[in-house]
């Protein structure tokens, strides 16, 4: 089974138009924030901006945009077979296409992006991990004896 990640730009957040602590008032994200506060909470949180700021630092190193770093990260992941871009303007399309070739992220940068973007584990998955820690530790210890 292949994995496809739609909505890569997350309603314009990766364009850099919205910064930490700002409430968007324009575009699709501004519209969705006005419609539902729950939608705003799902996108406009510290985790999202930690990811964006990490991508900004990496992008600065290569002279690339946050969106290009995000798309390059997806393109380099083995589990991703396709990336669907969602450009609204010709400028956005050209920027997105700049992620496609001519540069790569280092393994260290891939790991940093993986770490910062790993979603939190929720019930029941976090509970299952906690309940199995002893079993896993016993298994590891039995191999070290």
- Confidence band (pLDDT; 50, 70, 90) for 126? confident
- The pLDDT assigned to 133 comes to 67
- The pLDDT assigned to 1 comes to 39
Q: What is the 3 state secondary structure string of 32-63?
A: HHHHCHHHHHHHCCHHHHHHHHHHHHHHHHHC
Full set of structural domains in the chain with CATH = 3-144 (3.20.20.100)
- Confidence band (pLDDT; 50, 70, 90) for 82? confident
Residue 85 pLDDT greater than 80, yes or no: yes
DSSP of 3-38, one letter per residue?
EEE--TTGGGGGGT-S-TTPPP-SHHHHHHHHH-HH
Residue 106 pLDDT greater than 90, yes or no: yes
- The pLDDT assigned to 4 comes to 45
pLDDT in tens, 18-74: 777 777 666 666 655 555 555 555 667 888 889 999 999 999 999 999 999 999 999
- The pLDDT assigned to 121 comes to 74
In terms of pLDDT, which residue wins out, 129 or 50? 50
- The pLDDT assigned to 124 comes to 74
């Amino acid at each position: 089974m292949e994995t496809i990640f739609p909505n890569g730009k997350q309603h314009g957040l990766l364009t850099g138009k919205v910064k930490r602590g700002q409430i968007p008032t324009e575009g699709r994200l501004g519209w969705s924030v006005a419609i539902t506060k729950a939608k705003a909470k799902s996108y406009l949180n510290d985790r999202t901006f930690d990811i964006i700021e990490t991508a900004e630092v990496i992008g600065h190193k290569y002279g690339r945009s946050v969106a290009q770093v995000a798309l390059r990260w997806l393109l380099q992941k083995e589990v991703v077979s396709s990336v669907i871009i969602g450009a609204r303007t010709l400028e956005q399309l050209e920027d997105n296409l700049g992620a496609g070739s001519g540069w790569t992220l280092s393994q260290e940068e891939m790991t940093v992006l993986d770490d910062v973007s790993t979603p939190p584990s929720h019930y029941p998955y976090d509970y299952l991990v906690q309940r199995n820690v002893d079993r896993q530790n016993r298994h590891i210890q039995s191999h070290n004896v």
